[in-house]
Structure 1
Amino acid sequence: MLFSDSRYVSSGTKRAFSVKGIVGMLLSDSRKVLFVHIQKTGGETVAEILTKHAPDICRLGAKHEFAKFGKLKLGSGWNDYFKFAFVRNPWDRLVSWYSMIRRATRITRLDALLSSRKRSHLQQRASNPLWRYFYENCSSFEEFIKNCTDQVEVADGALYSFAYNQLDYLEDGNGSILVDFIGRFENFSEDLRTLAMKAGIQSGRITHANVSVHRHYSTYYTSELEKIVRERFARDIEYFGYDFERL
């Protein structure tokens, strides 16, 4: 589940918390790990595991912070941490993102009382500038791809955008990767176990959190939409070797 900033206790540039499932760049001094959370790549599952096994886990900076900003905040201490992130096929990731935000329109106040995750999504529906931009600019998946993935700044200088390549979260200003390990959503369980071994923790049984329910991503795309994503997210597709796969 997601939490508003009022649930955090500020401590310099680090934000400590006592509940699980938050989003953002997370770090643990005891485990010497730092997680760069890219939206819709399994990050909430990673956050829950880290919270369970690293009591000192805290959030560094803003939600879904870029690695380069984390490096700026930590300075020379950046190199003390094992840094990692997960990425996902861009076509699949956009379907998941669209499905999550669109489904939030059906959440009632009763739903929110019974589910902390739905309560969070209800709050974001009203206050998240990126979500508001979504609702104002698209009523279908076609409009989402055409209207919401073409520009970075969507509201009042907001850092979040549907238009960022995932590499934007991971590179410095010169195009060098700042993290030590990049897992893949498509190989999530195996890569997460590898990370757990490196961090000296037990991943245990892995259950995905904040899962978006939808059909296979390819069924959402026309040839035109597939091409738009291929062009706009070309850096991710080329670097990570992703391709569009139809059922």
Structure 2
Amino acid sequence: MIIAHSKKFILMSPWKTASSTCHASLGQYNESVYPRFFYYNGFLNRVVTQHATLADLTALPEGKLGYKVAAFVRNPYDRAYSGFIQIQRDFQEQPKVEIEPAWITHLLRAQIATNMSRVISAGFNFDAWINLLPDYEVYEPGHNTNMVLHPCHYWTHVNGEQLVGFVGKVEQFEHDFHRFCDYVDIEPPVVQLSNVSEHETEPTTGDTCKYAGRMSRRALDRINELFAKDFELFGYDML
């Protein structure tokens, strides 16, 4: 998350919702003392990353300061496909990283191995993978620190109540990014794209979902089931 004490705002960072682009674009305002990569948080008594949820924020000192809180969300179809690609990228990159204390490195590598084993079992096929993914991997954020597909409303709602004052959408990022800047009363900086894979630059097929056209009916139904609450809360259409 981005914590701007000088401007009194916090921008949450759900997985696969342009969080790296937000960090790159808003870096001048970020005064967070928390690492972006994997670390042990003493307030939460577990390993987290920059993607700590809104419930996590309420347990942190910064969550009690009365700052404006915002988040960007993304349609579940594109988040799911982008997460599938991210898991494979993590398998290539993250095992090279050493984290102190060493047990966090061991945890990270074990989680990467678990995530990648499902991709391999699915034959690197998205449709097979999303149907192999257990519900608990999606719904339980404390189980797997490296799982990229928890529901977006974990960063906007707590116990069914929306606690963030602004929700933007990745599908209209530049427009909503300017709206966000108005909300937190800052001059809109130049947007600096970051962590955008070759898949993210492909054109859409005429709607806001870049990747849904690649998915089988069974995969679409599985995503509809897993992320039903996100569709409802953020107004995304189920296919």
Provide the TM-score with structure 2 as the length reference.
Answer: 0.73
Q: 1:162 to 1:148 in 2, by over 3 A?
A: farther
Q: 1:183 to 1:97 in 2, by over 3 A?
A: same
Pair 1:29-2:12 in alignment = no
User: Do 2:111 and 2:145's aligned partners in 1 also have CA atoms closer than 8 Å?
Assistant: no
Pair 1:59-2:34 in alignment = yes
Query: d(CA) in 1 for partners of 2:197 and 2:176?
Result: 21
1:187 Cα deviation after fit: 1.1
Counterpart of 2:220 (choices 223, 226, 238) is 226
User: Do 2:73 and 2:170's aligned partners in 1 also have CA atoms closer than 8 Å?
Assistant: yes
User: Do 1:151 and 1:163's aligned partners in 2 also have CA atoms closer than 8 Å?
Assistant: no
Aligned to 1:197: 182
1:94 Cα deviation after fit: 1.1
User: Do 1:36 and 1:83's aligned partners in 2 also have CA atoms closer than 8 Å?
Assistant: yes
Aligned to 2:58: 71
Aligned to 1:211: 196
1:204 Cα deviation after fit: 3.0
Gaps of 5+ in 2: 36-40, 42-47, 99-104, 203-209
Q: 1:87 to 1:149 in 2, by over 3 A?
A: farther
Query: d(CA) in 2 for partners of 1:230 and 1:161?
Result: 18
1:44 Cα deviation after fit: 1.0
Identity %: 22
Query: d(CA) in 2 for partners of 1:165 and 1:76?
Result: 20
Aligned to 1:158: 144
1:86 Cα deviation after fit: 0.6
Counterpart of 2:114 (choices 133, 154, 158) is 133
CA RMSD after TM alignment = 3.0
Tell me the alpha carbon deviations over residues 80-128 of structure 1, each in whole angstroms, 9 at most, x when there is no partner. Answer: 21100110000011111212332455x5xxxxxxxxxxx6685399935
The 3-state SS of whatever aligns with 1:98 is helix
1:148 Cα deviation after fit: 2.4
Counterpart code for 1:56: E
1:200 Cα deviation after fit: 3.3
User: Do 1:28 and 1:58's aligned partners in 2 also have CA atoms closer than 8 Å?
Assistant: no
Pair 1:96-2:82 in alignment = yes
User: Do 1:150 and 1:163's aligned partners in 2 also have CA atoms closer than 8 Å?
Assistant: no
The 3-state SS of whatever aligns with 1:59 is coil
Query: d(CA) in 1 for partners of 2:83 and 2:63?
Result: 35
Q: 1:177 to 1:219 in 2, by over 3 A?
A: same
1:149 Cα deviation after fit: 5.2
Aligned to 1:180: 165
User: Do 1:85 and 1:181's aligned partners in 2 also have CA atoms closer than 8 Å?
Assistant: yes
Provide the TM-score with structure 1 as the length reference.
Answer: 0.71
Query: d(CA) in 2 for partners of 1:99 and 1:31?
Result: 35
The 3-state SS of whatever aligns with 2:59 is helix
User: Do 2:13 and 2:19's aligned partners in 1 also have CA atoms closer than 8 Å?
Assistant: yes
Counterpart code for 2:61: L
1:203 Cα deviation after fit: 2.9
Query: d(CA) in 1 for partners of 2:141 and 2:18?
Result: 26
The 3-state SS of whatever aligns with 1:188 is helix
Aligned to 1:47: 23
Query: d(CA) in 1 for partners of 2:73 and 2:141?
Result: 25
Aligned to 2:207: none
